[in-house]
Amino acid sequence: MTAAGWRLAAVLVSRKGAEEEKPWERGVDQRMASKAPDELKERTKKIIRLLRIAYPDAKCTLNHSNAFELLIATILSAQCTDERVNIVTADLFRKYRRPADAGMPGPGPGLAG
């Protein structure tokens, strides 16, 4: 997903619309911090629906086999092309298939699975 795609989604689901300050530039949207989990799930579903409409043929070009690998590849893709990330991560992911392989803690309670 491009930055423009995320901005489009943010504007589409924003309560105030395009005239609002850009929430993606502030970090965590403070309005969402006080929302109930069910409300957040519904908003997330709405965003995903809108993104699927706006980008019906979107495909991830980053090679990955699990969420950890996708996270690392996504972080690296901000620094270079997806093609270069796929070259670099081929060796990297053979050695580090999960966070524990890199000496990092795994997901917290409720995040595994």
> What's residue 9's pLDDT?
61
Take residue 103 and report the two structure tokens written for it.
């000496």
**Do both 47 and 86 map to the same domain?**
no
**Do both 48 and 74 map to the same domain?**
no
Which amino acid is located at 49 in the chain?
Answer: R
Q: Which residues of 83-96 are buried (b: 16+ CB within 10 A; e: fewer)?
A: eebbeebeebbeeb
Residues 89, 21: Cα–Cα separation, whole Å: 36
* pLDDT tens digit at each of 113 positions of the chain: 566 555 656 655 554 444 555 555 555 566 666 677 888 899 999 999 999 999 999 999 999 999 889 999 999 999 899 999 999 999 999 998 888 888 877 666 655 54
**Do both 35 and 71 map to the same domain?**
no
**Domain interval for residue 89:** 61-113
